[in-house]
Amino acid sequence: MSTHLKPLRALVLAALLAFPVARADALTLADKTALQIAMQKHVDQLTIGDSYLYFDAKQGKVRKLRPATAHPMIMQMGEHFVLCFDFLDSAGKKVEVDYYMARKGRGFVVFHSAVASRNALMALVKSGKVRPAN
């Protein structure tokens, strides 16, 4: 080992010993930040002007929403994650969107968006399949 790496190795070892061992499924601050960034990028990609577009299959039309607030809470479903974002419809009514996300390399991607389907997420939470990430 080169001489200039020895102090770094000692520092890393000291840090590992000083802090309690994290659970294997614990998210790091970097993971949490990457999840929030990936969700925001996804929202930005689907936003044209000030409108977030999605297809409402029940009504058979494209709806426009305005982004309002990203929720800070991150939920975990096995190795996948759920993050939420509030939007406003044309009448100013809140519309909740849940983003189901997966790890991809060092980052994350949205693999499913559930618009105004909070009951489905609540059922997963109630069944214990989804829980707050730590």
pLDDT digits (tens, 9 = 90+) for 94-113: 999 999 999 999 899 999 99
- Whole-model pTM: value is 0.77
Q: 10 Å Cβ neighbour count for 22?
A: 10
pLDDT digits (tens, 9 = 90+) for 10-37: 333 333 333 333 344 578 999 999 999 9
Q: Report whether 84 contacts 11 (CB < 8 A).
A: no
Instruction: Please name which of 111, 48, 39 lies closest in space to residue 71, comparing C-alpha atoms.
Output: 39
Q: For residue 85, what are its two tokens?
A: 């974002």
Give the model's pLDDT for residue 15: 35
